[in-house]
Structure 1
Amino acid sequence: MLLICRYQVSPDREASFVERARRALALLTRAEGCLHGDLGRAVDQPDRWVLSVRFTSVVAYRRALSPFEIREHVVPLLSEALADEPATYETLAEAESGVVTDHPSLLASDDHRLG
């Protein structure tokens, strides 16, 4: 399961945003079932940022959002993300060292398996 939150951050808010995003990454990646997280900035539009965090499952993602410290520090940051696109995605294929592994869809209504 992949969480992707996109942000538009003005230069005067950049330092505060980065501090909050780093704290969110630290808290989320401590959670059981969290594989890793990243914070990035668009090369062509430096006011655009992305926070992405990968979890082993939807259950791990939901459990990671449950602790009070997460609800206090992370959820407010997530709620500030641009809302014009979905933020959570299922992983249907992943690759490492040239080998692609497909995963079954988590959606009960349809199997969106690639390949």
Structure 2
Amino acid sequence: MLLVCRFTVPEASTGAFTERVDRALALLTAQPGCRRAQLSRSTDEDERFVLTAEFDSVVAYRRALSPFEVREHVVPLLSEADTDGPAAYEPLLVADGGEVRRETSLLARDAGTVRLGEAAGPSEPR
């Protein structure tokens, strides 16, 4: 699972923001199931940043956000992200060393129509 959070940060706040992200990334990547995370800055607009984190699964993502210290430092930071689009994605095609593999969706084909308590898991992935 891939977490993508976009931030708009005024130039005067950049130092404090990157310090907060530094702490958040250390806490997040120390959690089991968090493969890697990074903060990137736009080369076109200095005030635009993107934080990405890759997890083994949706379950690993949710568990990584559970410890108290993560909820204390990481969750408030993530709540400040721009809300103009989704933040959680699952990989469909993954390439490494010239080879591409297809990933199976963890979401059921009817995930958008089934309500809480109606399904136990994906019998047919998307």
Give the TM bin, normalised by the shorter chain: over 0.9
Q: Given the two structures, how large is their TM-score scaled by the length of structure 1?
A: 0.94
> Quick one: which amino acid aligns to residue 70 of structure 1?
V
> Quick one: which amino acid aligns to residue 107 of structure 2?
L
> Quick one: which amino acid aligns to residue 2 of structure 1?
L
Instruction: Kindly provide the CA deviation profile for residues 12-44 of structure 1, in whole angstroms up to 9, marking residues without a partner as x.
Output: 110010001111110000010110011100000
| Counterpart in the other structure of 1:87 | 87
| Counterpart in the other structure of 1:52 | 52
Q: Given the two structures, how large is their TM-score scaled by the length of structure 2?
A: 0.86
Deviation, structure 1 residue 48: 0.1
Q: Does 1:109 align with 2:109?
A: yes
Where 1:15 maps in the other structure, the secondary structure is: helix
Q: How many residues align?
A: 112
In structure 2, list runs of 5 or more residues that go unmatched.
111-124
Cα separation, 2, equivalents of 1:24 and 1:4 = 14
Instruction: Kindly provide the CA deviation profile for residues 29-81 of structure 1, in whole angstroms up to 9, marking residues without a partner as x.
Output: 00101100111000000100000000000000000000000000000000000
| Counterpart in the other structure of 2:122 | none
The percentage of counterpart residues that share the same residue type is 56
> Quick one: which amino acid aligns to residue 42 of structure 1?
S
